[in-house]
Structure 1
Amino acid sequence: MLIVHGDVHSQCVFIMALQILVTDDDLQIQNLIKDYLELEGYSVILASDGEKALSLAQKYHPHLLISDIKMPHKDGYKLVKDLRKLPEFRLLPVIFLTQQDTIEAKIHGYQAGCDVYLAKPFEPMELAAIVRHLLERSQVIQAERLFPESHRSPPPQSLDNNSSHTCVSLTNREKEVLDLIIKGYSNIQIAQELYLSPKTIEKYVANLLKKTDSQNRTELVTFAFKNNLTHT
């Protein structure tokens, strides 16, 4: 868990790190990955077999999975296939980290649904770079899914000449983000409050600025009060 000191009410803001589920029956490999990724700022959950990993994934909803293939009870292939059957894990980034380095094993891994196939022994720095890349890509994909309307035409202006307000259509999540902006929350604090990533919040804020034709947060807040967009 990362701790960031906020300026709102002089309180500390606690930000949950992105969670990574590591599944391997080798405890040394588990701890090596855990120690290195925690130094990179991630939160790591450990499992020693596929059955336990599936249970932990459904409980904690990790942002990425690193899995061995040959494990007791449920191997990596079956684990990923079972996860991919669940809607919430269809886009989960998956890294196979294994000693099985044949072409056939790699093909089977990609067919099962992994994104990257990395052979043991491995370089922790390379693994961390792959993790970072997959998580960044995942955040972009999730943000695009959250904002399909950003590719549409801008909302129409009010045609009522007697009204000084502009018609702006906001989603419920955009309204939540806007209310927290008005309260003075930073993007990191909003992410903590709404249990989203800071990058996703950046996308929401950018969308709000675009919809309201604002150049910065000050103009956005002024626009919100002028047009009765706030619920605070």
Structure 2
Amino acid sequence: MPLTILVADDDLGTRLSVTDYLELNGFVAVAAKNGREALAMVEQCRPHLIVTDIAMPQVDGHAFIRQIRSQPALRLLPVVFLTARDETADRIMGYQLGCDAYLAKPFELAELLAVVRNLLDRAQSVALEMQFSRSQQPANSALQPQSRSPYPREMNPPLEDEIPTPELSPREREVLNLLSSGGSNIQIGKELHLSPRTIEKHVSSLLRKTNMHNRSELVRYAIEHNLVN
């Protein structure tokens, strides 16, 4: 079954070009012209990924994602920000709110597609790992002490004292710095003269070492623990 992607943007041309391109590449694309409409679409369509502009009427992209991330069931839903605002402070704010990738307008549709596929692949891998983990729990797990949340541990952000500061290689630190500045795998690869696949391996290693589940959590962790310049 094709995966569903929600595209939220008040610019009609952007909405049409992005949704048409995604549908040509095998996805189901639904569109919203502002954050309020997008919130309703999330409830109706249950998308697998969101692509959203920031500057929108009624409810902007920041408020939209803030409301999405406030719902535990949607906390790991991949989000891509599209915006004309490309200052470092804007990108950091986007990551702190929970976006997974940040593309500045004008952008290439092919790069957006690569980002979308990458995030969806990771989201599906996480879902499979969670499913496998639950299947390995003992039958009498219901008798065990309850955790601090009714949601699976994978859905909870790790406590700070549970995560020791990791040992990162110089290359991993370079990747983390560029990732925190909003770079995609393609952009980081060009900067470091490495392939996007190699960058993805470094990002996966960083996620594993920090015990984070996605890029937005990784960037927040890096900022909070002074791992980036």
Q: 2:118 aligns with which of 133, 136, 143?
A: 133
User: Which gives a bigger RCO, structure 1 or 2 (Cα 8 Å, sep 6+)?
Assistant: 2
Aligned residue in 2 for 1:59: 44
SS at match of 1:59: helix
Q: 1:149: how far off?
A: 5.0
Aligned residue in 1 for 2:151: none
Residue 23 (1) aligns with residue 8 (2) = yes
Cα distance in 1 between the residues matched to 2:32 and 2:73: 20
Superposed CA deviations along residues 104-143 of structure 1, whole A, max 9, x for unmatched, are 1111111111000100000000000000000000000011
Aligned residue in 2 for 1:80: 65
Aligned residue in 2 for 1:119: 104
Aligned residue in 2 for 1:39: 24
Distance 1:140 1:122, change over 3 A: same
Counterpart amino acid of 1:123?
E
Cα distance in 2 between the residues matched to 1:84 and 1:142: 17
Cα distance in 2 between the residues matched to 1:142 and 1:116: 19
Cα distance in 2 between the residues matched to 1:58 and 1:145: 23
1:87-106 alignment, distance < 5 Å: 87-106=72-91
Q: 2:94 aligns with which of 96, 104, 109?
A: 109
Cα distance in 2 between the residues matched to 1:86 and 1:151: 26
Q: 1:152: how far off?
A: 7.1
Counterpart amino acid of 1:50?
G
Structure with higher Rg: it is 1
Superposed CA deviations along residues 190-231 of structure 1, whole A, max 9, x for unmatched, are xxxxxxxxxxxxxxxxxxxxxxxxxxxxxxxxxxxxxxxxxx
Alignment RMSD (CA, Å):
1.4
SS at match of 1:147: helix
1:172-211 alignment, distance < 5 Å: none
Q: TM-score normalised to the size of structure 2?
A: 0.58
Give the total of aligned pairs: 138
SS at match of 1:80: helix
Structure 2: state its 5+ residue gaps.
Answer: 139-229
Aligned residue in 2 for 1:165: none
Counterpart amino acid of 2:83?
T
Task: Give percent identity, aligned residues only.
Answer: 47
Distance 1:110 1:149, change over 3 A: closer
Bigger proportion of residues as helix = 2
Q: 1:86: how far off?
A: 1.0
Cα distance in 2 between the residues matched to 1:75 and 1:149: 37
Superposed CA deviations along residues 65-110 of structure 1, whole A, max 9, x for unmatched, are 0000000011101100100111221000000011011111111111
**Runs of 4+ residues deviating >4 angstroms:** 149-153
